[in-house]
Chain A
Amino acid sequence: MTTVVEVNGLTKRFGKFTAVDDVSFRVEENTIYGLLGRNGAGKTTMMQLLTGQQFASDGSIRVFGQSPVENAAVLGNICFIKESQAYPDDFKPRHVFESAPWFFQNWDAEFANRLISEFRVPVNRRIKKLSRGQLSAVGVIVGLASRAPLTFFDEPYLGLDAVARQIFYDRLLEDFGEHPRTVILSTHLIDEVSALLEHVLVIDDGKLIIDENADTLRGSATTISGTKSTVEAFVGKRTVLHREGIGGLSSITVEKLDSADRTAAASAGLELGPVSLQQLIVRKTSIPEAEFGAQS
C-alpha cells in the first residue's frame, strides 16, 4: 500500500496551549479513516495542519510525499470540507458547483447533479438564506463529487437530517467502491459511521491515543458484570478501562478476553457484554471512575 500522509512528532502550539502534541501516524491510500475525539481534542487543528492551513510548531508532515504548505501539487489533490465553510456574499449553491471543476480535476458534474436532487439543495437561493442542513449538504456534495484523492470531512453534517445523513453514507460507500480514494472523516456520531470506517484515529487532549484497524478495535474490550466481589476477583490485575457500580453490583470494562477467560467468567456466574466502538472511545477519553452508592 502507498502511504498518502506521513506525520512525525507533529506539534502545534497556540501560545501556551498545545493543540496537537507530538503526534505520529501514517495514512494509507484508498482507505476510509475516522478521526475521532472530543470537542477541542485537536481534530480540526490536525486537519488544518495536513492541508497547509496552519504551520506546524514542530515535527514533519508529508502529504503525497511533500510538504502541503503553499504547495499546489499537493493541495490540488486535496478536498477539505469544513464544518462551517464561508462563501462570498451573494453566492448561490449554483456558483459553488459551477466553480468546483476549476479546483477539482476529477469533478463529476453528473454525480453532483444527482446529489443535488437527492439532498434537495435549492441551487438558486442565496447561500446566506439556506438552512444549516442545506448548507452542510452543499459541502457534502462538493466533498463527494470532487473525488479528490485525499478528502477531509470535518464534522460535515451539522443540521443534516437522518435521511440526508443516510444518503451521504450510502453515496460515499457506493462511490468509494467505484472510485477508491482516501477519506478522513471527523465526526461525533461514532455509532452511525463505525461500519464505514476501516481505520480509526482517536485524538484526546492533543495526543493520538488510538491508531488501529476498526475491526480490531471492535471486540477489543468486554464489560464484565456481576456481584462486586466476584467481578473484582475476576478482574484482578487486568487493565480497567471503565468501572461502574451500584450497591453490591459492579460492571467493569477490560481489554480483550480470550476464550479461556470467557469460559472462566461464565462459570463464575459473570455476565459478559459487548462494547461498541462508540462506548470504547467514550471510555478511553473520559475519566475512568464512576461509582454510585459505593458504600458497600
Chain B
Amino acid sequence: MDDSRPIFLQIAEAIENDILAGNLHEETQVPSTNEFAAFYRINPATAGKGVNLLVDDGILYKKRGIGMFVATGSQARLVKKRREQFEAEFVRPLIAEATKIGLSQAQLVSMIQAAPIHEGDTV
C-alpha cells in the first residue's frame, strides 16, 4: 500500500489486478474483508469499502451468508475499463512529455516500435 492515495481504491485495484491476471476466476469466491485486512495490514472497514466499490461496479457480487464472488464477464469489463484508463493516465502524459522535448508524433511512434517488449511481463 502506498500512502498517497485512498487505501480502499488500492484494495479495489489489487482485486481487479488479480481478476485481470486470472488469479481470481469468474464465479470463484474472493477472500473475506477480514482476510484482506489482515493480509494488507489495513483497517477492516477500509478493506470493506474497497470490496463494496467492486460490488457497486458489478465486478463482485454477494451471496448471502457465504461471501463475495467474482461476477461472470467481469474480466472483459475490467480490460475495457483499464484500456480507457491507460489512455488517460499513460498515453496522454506521454504525448505531453514528448511534445515538451520536441518529439514529433512519427518519432514517438518509431521509438515505441523500437522499444523491447518483454513477453513475460504481466500486470
CB B50 to nearest CB in A, in angstroms, measures: 10
Q: Does residue B103 face the partner (Cβ distance < 8 Å to A)?
A: no
B3 touches A196 (CB 8 A): no
State which of B3, B6, B43, B96 has its C-beta within 8 Å of the C-beta of A32. Answer: B43
Nearest-neighbor residue (CB-CB) of A279 within chain B: B3
Q: Does residue A275 face the partner (Cβ distance < 8 Å to B)?
A: yes
Nearest-neighbor residue (CB-CB) of A219 within chain B: B5
Chain B residues with CB under 8 Å of A216's CB are: 6
CB A256 to nearest CB in B, in angstroms, measures: 12
A274 touches B37 (CB 8 A): no
Chain B residues with CB under 8 Å of A31's CB are: 45
State which of A169, A178, A276 has its C-beta within 8 Å of the C-beta of B34. Answer: A178
| Interface residues of B, dominant DSSP | helix
With A194-B3, A266-B96 as known contacts, state yes or no: A215 contacts B38, CB within 8 Å. no
Chain A residues with CB under 8 Å of B42's CB are: 173, 195-196
A163-196 interface with B by 8 A CB criterion: 169-170, 173-174, 176-178, 191, 194-196
Q: Which A residues fall within an 8 A CB radius of B? A: 31-32, 169-170, 173-174, 176-178, 191, 194-198, 214-216, 218-219, 266-267, 269, 274-278
State which of A174, A178, A214, A219 has its C-beta within 8 Å of the C-beta of B43. Answer: A214
Interface string of B33-63 (1 = CB under 8 A from A): 1100110111111100100000000000000
B43 touches A274 (CB 8 A): no
Measured in the bound complex, the distance between the Cα atoms of B10 and A279 in whole Å is 20
Chain A residues with CB under 8 Å of B41's CB are: 169-170, 173, 195-196
Question: Which 8 pairs from chain A and chain B are nearest by CB?
Answer: A274-B4, A177-B34, A276-B3, A215-B6, A195-B42, A198-B43, A198-B45, A219-B5
B100 touches A269 (CB 8 A): yes
B37 touches A218 (CB 8 A): no
| Interface residues of A, dominant DSSP | helix
Interface string of B11-41 (1 = CB under 8 A from A): 0000000000000000000000110011011
Chain A residues with CB under 8 Å of B100's CB are: 269
Chain B residues with CB under 8 Å of A269's CB are: 100
Count of chain B residues with a beta carbon within 8 Å of a chain A beta carbon: 23
B40 touches A195 (CB 8 A): yes
Q: Does residue B73 face the partner (Cβ distance < 8 Å to A)?
A: no
Q: Does residue B67 face the partner (Cβ distance < 8 Å to A)?
A: no
Measured in the bound complex, the distance between the Cα atoms of B41 and A191 in whole Å is 13
A197 touches B43 (CB 8 A): yes
Chain B residues with CB under 8 Å of A173's CB are: 37-38, 41-44
Nearest-neighbor residue (CB-CB) of A216 within chain B: B6
CB B41 to nearest CB in A, in angstroms, measures: 6
Measured in the bound complex, the distance between the Cα atoms of B5 and A165 in whole Å is 24
Measured in the bound complex, the distance between the Cα atoms of B43 and A196 in whole Å is 5
Chain A residues with CB under 8 Å of B43's CB are: 32, 173, 195-198, 214
A174 touches B4 (CB 8 A): no
A266 touches B93 (CB 8 A): yes
Nearest-neighbor residue (CB-CB) of A278 within chain B: B3
Chain B residues with CB under 8 Å of A266's CB are: 93, 96
